[in-house]
Homo-oligomer: A and B are copies of this chain.
């Protein structure tokens, strides 16, 4: 139950609840989050408040909203591995909309950026990709 008198904003409390459900495994990858209308009733708040809570989870990459189907849990580790070579640099930042579309990324997913020693840059979706310096040996 959320507490309207708490210092913590109601939408943050709702986000906390849902996040805990996801991280604990009570809600898993692909599960549907209750509809906004449903969450309004459950928590006794306005739709504005519920939507802010969902926004929080979106920006954390924990849910994907597929309008008007619903909101679904997104929680899976990277599956692809990109090889690093000596001197390559790796950094991260959020994509701008153009980059998001280009790489078919959802909201709340950061870019993994590799700068090769020749200066060329490669960008990967952070939810599907990890980088690794060739496993000992090579």
Contacts and interface: CB of A to CB of B under 8 A. Distances in A.
B134 A96 contact: no
A126 B55 CA distance: 21
Interface string A20-36: 00010000000000000
A91 B78 contact: yes
Contact of A132 (B88, B92, B107): B88
B126 A88 contact: no
Q: How many copies does the complex hold?
A: 2
A110 B134 CA distance: 24
A95 B62 CA distance: 10
Interface residues of A, number: 43
Contacts of A95: 60
A59 interface: yes
A93 B110 contact: yes
A94 interface: yes
B87 A132 contact: yes
Interface string A41-59: 0000000000000010001
A83 B86 CA distance: 11
- A-B pairs, top 8 by smallest CB distance, nearest first, are A110-B110, A91-B130, A92-B92, A92-B126, A90-B131, A59-B59, A89-B132, A92-B110
